[in-house]
Amino acid sequence: MEQENWLLCDFHIHTNMSDGHMDLSDVIDLYGQKGFDVICITDHAYDKHTIKIWEDNNEIPPTVWKDTFSDYLHKIWDEAKRAWKEYRMIVIPGLEISNNHDLFHLLAIDVKEFVDPNQKVEDIIRDIHSQDAIAIACHPHLKDSEPEMPFIHLWNEHEKYATMFDAWEVANRDDLFNVVGLKKFNYIAGSDFHELRHVYSWKPLIKSEKNTEAVKEAITLNQNVALYLLRRKPVDAGTSLRKNAASELEKSLEQDTLS
């Protein structure tokens, strides 16, 4: 039997195939060089109402389309091969089914077919499970960075959805959702990566064999899941140093974003 280790993971990552700022291949190199074991690419697939708003404004909707979903999958498979060869990192195809109209976002991990975001949540979850993928409720509570648009539907109905999901994000980027922890739901973290600086955020550590099926099972069983905060450079807690350290951090983040 393959050995079980604590694997550094991230199951919530966007690229410029939706609204992320980076190419898929750059994302793979970033995570590979940081020593990640397993990541999942989860670009947005938006509902029709939200897409129409963009189209009415003559903007290109930053969405994965049903018609081009197989191109999306093929791109991820190609990069997954390279990621394994160069970094021994597993890359899993996913989607963030994003319904801004009905105020919910959820992740499908190890998706094989397009999932229609215009369905009811329970039908979306059924669809995900029928593909042997797993369903994660993402940023299910108030998120600091998005105060004007809380995706609160899943939390409003959490009693109903509690066990339908395989796990709930208890942490998303810098936010911690205490309410999810208090309910003792199956939990997970995700960086909701859109740009370079987001790699420094809450991540899940999962104790499992290093293969997709074992990792999915470990998320579902949720016994050996831990939270880990990947930090760039801790800001010095000493009061006299704090200001300098903070501005150093800003500077290096800026350089990172530019490079």
Determine if 192 is a binding residue for Zn ion (CB under 5 A): yes
CB of 235 to Zn ion, least distance (A): 26
Q: Strand, helix or coil at 158?
A: helix
Q: In this structure, what DSSP letter does residue 234 have?
A: P
Pairing type for strands 225-229 and 5-13 reads unpaired
**Which residues 74-103 are close enough to bind Zn ion by CB under 5 A?**
96
Contacts of 49 (CB under 8 A, 6+ apart): 100, 101
Determine if 43 is a binding residue for Zn ion (CB under 5 A): no
CA–CA gap between residue 29 and residue 90 (Å, rounded):
12
First CA to last CA distance, the chain: 42
Question: Residue 105 or 216: which CB sits closer to Zn ion?
Answer: 105
# residues contacting Zn ion (CB under 5 A): 3
Q: Which stretch binds Zn ion (CB under 5 A): 176-184, 186-194, 213-221, 247-255?
A: 186-194
CB of 190 to Zn ion, least distance (A): 8
Determine if 143 is a binding residue for Zn ion (CB under 5 A): no
The residue from 105, 141, 153, 173 that contacts Zn ion (CB under 5 A) is 105
The residue behind tokens 């195809």 is: 93
CB of 138 to Zn ion, least distance (A): 5
CA–CA gap between residue 203 and residue 186 (Å, rounded):
15
Determine if 203 is a binding residue for Zn ion (CB under 5 A): no
CB of 88 to Zn ion, least distance (A): 26
Q: Strand, helix or coil at 193?
A: strand
Q: Which residues bind Zn ion (CB under 5 A)?
A: 96, 105, 192
